[in-house]
Amino acid sequence: PGTLVLFRGRNSMHRVTPTIGERTRILVVLAYNTEPGVALSEAARMT
């Protein structure tokens, strides 16, 4: 169980609930580009 949250923009204000116990928070970032063959920058891959 969890929540899917969609953000548009890098500076969107948001908050998260604290994790409980030893459970690790998992964050997934999906990205796409309309131009074929364009890769994410190193900074974007480190996010």
What are the CA-CA distances from residue 44 to residues 18, 25, 32 (Å)? 25, 19, 12
- Per-residue pLDDT, 1: 58
List helix spans (H) across the chain: 42-45
Question: How many separate domains does the chain show?
Answer: 1
Q: What is the pLDDT along the chain (47 residues), one digit of tens a residue?
A: 577 777 776 677 777 888 889 988 887 777 777 888 888 888 877 76
Q: Longest C-alpha distance within the chain, in Å?
A: 43
Q: What percent of the chain has pLDDT over 70?
A: 89
- Per-residue pLDDT, 17: 84
Structural domain range at position 18: 1-47
